[in-house]
């Protein structure tokens, strides 16, 4: 009887440790951002932008991203910056393409799905998709032209 109780307890503890929860606090944001950027650095399509073109200083960049996403999900007011201007400058260094934005979005949303589930997790994915769409529209001229053509302008 004792061994079956121990096994049940072990199974329960394993299941609880592997169950996903919602994004609830800054520690969860840090886990998400760190996991996401580990994927980005290794990514065959967009990794070089971060490692070779921008040469991101991760010790400075990651805390900024923690604040950005914490503000995006919890309205903390911690983030100060202009991501659009930064990406416009980046576009001058290397032309950003819709394919790059699609990959960035895929990596971000899949990281959220791997780690979390719930209302804030869904909001994080929605915000990432919206951010990528707005940046594409404002940065990539061909995206603007397609939208203008579709609107009959």
* pLDDT tens-place string over residues 32-84: 999 999 999 999 999 999 999 999 999 999 999 999 999 999 999 999 999 99
- pLDDT for the residue numbered 141: 79
Domains of the chain, residue spans:
23-150
What residues have CB less than 8 Å from 149, skipping those under 6 apart? none
- The pLDDT of residue 151 is above 50: yes
DSSP for 67-118? HHHHHHHH--------HHHHHHHHHHHS---HHHHHHHHHHHHHHHHHHB-S
Q: Is residue 149's pLDDT more than 80?
A: no
Which of the following CATH numbers is that of domain 23-150: 3.40.190.10, 1.10.490.10, 2.50.20.20, 1.10.760.10?
Answer: 1.10.490.10
**Digit-coded pLDDT (tens) for 96-115:** 999 999 999 999 999 999 99
Residue 143 pLDDT > 90: no
Q: Which of 96, 104, 100, 126 is nearest to 39 (CA)?
A: 104
Q: Could you read off the pLDDT of 84-97 as tens digits, one per residue?
A: 999 999 999 999 99
């Amino acid at each position: 009887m004792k061994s079956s109780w121990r096994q049940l307890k072990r199974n329960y503890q394993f299941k609880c440790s592997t169950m996903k929860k919602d994004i609830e606090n800054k520690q969860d944001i840090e886990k998400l951002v760190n996991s996401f950027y580990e994927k980005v650095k290794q990514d065959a399509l967009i990794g070089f932008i971060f490692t070779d073109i921008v040469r991101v200083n991760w010790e400075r960049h990651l805390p900024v991203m923690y604040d950005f996403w914490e503000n995006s999900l919890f309205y903390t007011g911690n983030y100060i910056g202009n991501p659009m201007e930064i990406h416009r400058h980046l576009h001058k260094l290397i032309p950003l393409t819709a394919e790059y934005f699609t990959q960035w979005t895929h990596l971000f949303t899949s990281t959220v799905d791997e780690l979390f589930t719930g209302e804030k997790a869904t909001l994080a994915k929605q915000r990432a998709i919206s951010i990528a769409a707005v940046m594409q529209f404002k940065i990539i001229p061909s995206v603007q032209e397609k939208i203008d053509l579709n609107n009959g302008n």
